[in-house]
Chains A and B, each alone.
Chain A
Amino acid sequence: MSERNLILAGLDGDRTWRLKDYMARGGYAALKKIIAESTPPADIIAEVKASVLRGRGGAGFPTGLKWSFMPRSFPGAKYLACNSDEGEPGTFKDRDILRYNPHSVIEGMAIAAYAMGCERGYNYIHGEVFEIYERFEEALAEAREAGFIGQKILGSDFSFELFAHHGYGAYICGEETALLESIEGKKGQPRFKPPFPASYGLYGKPTTINNTETFASVPFIMRDGGETFLNYGKPNNGGTKLFSISGHVNRPGNYEIELGTPFSELLEMAGGMRGGRKLKGVIPGGSSSPVVPADIMMDCTMDYDSISKAGSMLGSGAVIVMDETTCMVRALERLSYFYFEESCGQCTPCREGTGWLYRVVHRIEHGQGRPDDLDLLNSVTGNIMGRTICALGDAASMPVQSFIKHFGDEFAYHIEHKTCLVPEDVQREGSKIYVGPSC
């Protein structure tokens, strides 16, 4: 932890997640002040806009602007949802926020609910992290007891009921309308948009969905000011951000840094390359974001604009590091299998296309590739992208296109020689069971 931390500031591992610890760190001060001063909702939204906080779930959409889409004078229920359905390969930051600082999310949601006039909210928590769900339930009970959520919060007229909803294993529920379907007790199949959730969301009512880290940033913004938050990052990229680093580094884990920090510095924080081996490529924003070759990545800074210029996306801030022992065809084969497995099956181009992509990459990896397979893959991706209800089809296509674009020679080698460019024993040694500093 360093002075660079806002969300993870002042934490001591597993020992400081409770309400009293959070309040000792200045927690709930922002909510108390808003309620004591009856801050006009428009002022809160203006402050969030000034912070240039951008959605931390992957899309990077400006949070203040999203909040302003909610109808002000809608008669009847409005809902708030937190997207903690973190299942994009490489991403594991929300788990740590909920584990070590759950009240930051609760306070952020309460402030958001006040600003948008929502009377009820749900935090949708990823299925595989049941222990995190149980902890969040405990944190909710503490907040309820202290009067920070519930009816007539801190004696005011503002009421906000907040609950946890536990997922049970479906990547697609990270898509916001699939998440709403799932809360309604249905299959998690994305809805056609428009109408957008701000007009037709949960139970057909206006709803705003933000990522866990986005909500966790809100208390700081309201306490220290939007401009202070913005100044931590760089113009158009406000604040700090958590980066989840996995793969071939010495210290995989979460690192909170100012947006705009050089990638090389982040890599150093994560202990550098495992075994001193050479960097080959980086997937900078979760498995859906296009892969970036080592030399381009080393010149990038970690913010939305720089990564976008490098032809990829900052996404959720999930940085998957691959060294020279990685077979890029095998890496892509595993990702393609994931999208095939997780396609909800609703749209034909995605349902059929993701299986097709997987089967072709699989046959290339297994020495049965055909000379025109790379053209075929590019053609299939072209026919998926933009032709589906949600972004999963695009998410499955972008890795395929980028792996072929940057590591096409390795794919061609597989097709021609029916074997990996990187010898099997080298691959196994590079990706053996890692006994890291945390073991």
Chain B
Amino acid sequence: MLSQESLKLIDVEVAKYPPDQKQSAVMAALRIAQQEKGWLARETIDEVAQYLEMPAIAAFEVASFYNMYDLEPVGKHKITVCTNLPCALSGGVQAAEYLKQKLGIDFNETTPDGNFTLKEGECMGACGDAPVLLHNNHRMCSWMTTEKIDQMLADLAK
């Protein structure tokens, strides 16, 4: 069950759309649900669908279409690295290699302690800041040198 706080946040989103268009809030509602639960289990998606009075399958379609929703459990800290061409030219790929080596995992894997998951991302719209990482979908970290990556991982592991 989603918390009262999450439902309140969802209500704020619903109010942005015409009264007969509650489904428009599904993307935000799934984001809010994922923030609370860490990932989107089928029953969480079903609950969101029910709350917005839409078919469960339609909510699942959305959850599976947009790539920032996690349909499987991820680590406490999900780190997404952009390796697309503009970033790669300024070290995006090498930053990803460094992270893999530091964490001892490959893309789409989680460290055994459940702390870190590493993902390869597509364009985040921040190519001038390369290398760019995204922490838990919502915090962007720019110009990530190896020293800054070390610092970030140390801070997050605390």
Contact surface of A with B, Cβ cutoff 8 Å:
77, 86-92, 94-95, 120, 122, 126-131, 163-171, 182-188, 203, 244-248, 252-254, 287, 318, 320-322, 326, 331, 334-335, 338, 341-342, 344, 428, 430-436, 438-439
Q: Is the CB of B90 within 8 A of A252?
A: yes
Determine if B67 is an interface residue (Cβ-Cβ < 8 Å).
yes
What total count of A-B pairs have CB within 8 Å?
A: 192
For B83, the closest partner residue in chain A by CB is: A334
- With the chains together, A77 CA to B20 CA distance in Å? 13
Q: Is the CB of B138 within 8 A of A130?
A: yes
Contact of A166 among B17, B28, B87 (CB under 8 A): B28
For A251, the closest partner residue in chain B by CB is: B128
Q: List B117-131 residues whose CB lies under 8 Å from chain A.
A: 121-131
Contact of B88 among A203, A245, A334 (CB under 8 A): A334
- With the chains together, A89 CA to B125 CA distance in Å? 7
Cβ distance A321 to chain B, nearest Cβ, rounded Å: 8
Given contacts A184-B21, A320-B86, whether A431 and B94 have CB atoms under 8 Å apart is: yes
Pick the most buried of B27, B129, B139, B140: most chain A CB atoms within 10 A of its CB.
B27
Q: Is the CB of A433 within 8 A of B145?
A: yes
Determine if B156 is an interface residue (Cβ-Cβ < 8 Å).
no
**Chain B residues positioned under 8 Å from A182 (CB to CB):** 27
- With the chains together, A167 CA to B30 CA distance in Å? 11
The number of residues on chain B lying at the interface, defined by a beta carbon within 8 Å of a beta carbon of chain A, is 57
- With the chains together, A92 CA to B16 CA distance in Å? 27
Query: Interface with A: B57-65, B71-79, B103-111, which one?
Result: B57-65
Q: Is the CB of B134 within 8 A of A128?
A: yes
Q: Is the CB of B122 within 8 A of A428?
A: no
- With the chains together, A94 CA to B88 CA distance in Å? 21
**Chain A residues positioned under 8 Å from B127 (CB to CB):** 89-92, 244, 246, 252, 318, 320
For B148, the closest partner residue in chain A by CB is: A439
Determine if B68 is an interface residue (Cβ-Cβ < 8 Å).
yes
- With the chains together, A335 CA to B131 CA distance in Å? 17
Cβ distance B145 to chain A, nearest Cβ, rounded Å: 6
Determine if B84 is an interface residue (Cβ-Cβ < 8 Å).
yes
Q: Is the CB of A438 within 8 A of B89?
A: no
Contact of A89 among B17, B25, B69, B85 (CB under 8 A): B85
Taking A167-B66, A433-B146 as known contacts, 9 extra A-B pairs with beta carbons closer than 8 A to each other, sorted by chain A number, are A90-B127, A128-B124, A165-B27, A168-B66, A246-B89, A320-B86, A338-B85, A433-B95, A438-B142
- With the chains together, A321 CA to B88 CA distance in Å? 12
Q: Is the CB of B89 within 8 A of A326?
A: yes
- With the chains together, A94 CA to B127 CA distance in Å? 12
Q: Is the CB of B122 within 8 A of A86?
A: no
**Chain B residues positioned under 8 Å from A244 (CB to CB):** 127-128
Q: Is the CB of B27 within 8 A of A168?
A: yes
Cβ distance B63 to chain A, nearest Cβ, rounded Å: 9
**Chain A residues positioned under 8 Å from B140 (CB to CB):** 128-131
Q: Is the CB of B94 within 8 A of A334?
A: no
Contact of A94 among B26, B31, B91, B125 (CB under 8 A): B125
- With the chains together, A393 CA to B80 CA distance in Å? 26
Q: List B6-34 residues whose CB lies under 8 Å from chain A.
A: 16-18, 21, 23-28, 30-31
For A431, the closest partner residue in chain B by CB is: B89
Would you give 9 A-B contacts (Cβ < 8 Å), ordered by A?
Answer: A91-B127, A131-B140, A169-B69, A246-B87, A246-B130, A253-B128, A320-B89, A434-B143, A439-B145
**Chain B residues positioned under 8 Å from A90 (CB to CB):** 85-86, 123, 127
Contact of A434 among B30, B52, B91 (CB under 8 A): B91
Contact of B90 among A88, A169, A246, A341 (CB under 8 A): A246
For B93, the closest partner residue in chain A by CB is: A431
**Chain B residues positioned under 8 Å from A344 (CB to CB):** 65
- With the chains together, A341 CA to B67 CA distance in Å? 10
**Nearest 9 interchain pairs by C-beta:** A433-B91, A185-B23, A169-B68, A128-B124, A246-B86, A246-B127, A130-B138, A168-B66, A169-B67
Given contacts A169-B67, A248-B89, whether A203 and B21 have CB atoms under 8 Å apart is: yes
Determine if B137 is an interface residue (Cβ-Cβ < 8 Å).
yes
- With the chains together, A427 CA to B92 CA distance in Å? 13
Given contacts A167-B27, A246-B130, A341-B122, whether A433 and B68 have CB atoms under 8 Å apart is: no
Q: List B21-49 residues whose CB lies under 8 Å from chain A.
A: 21, 23-28, 30-31
- With the chains together, A247 CA to B98 CA distance in Å? 20
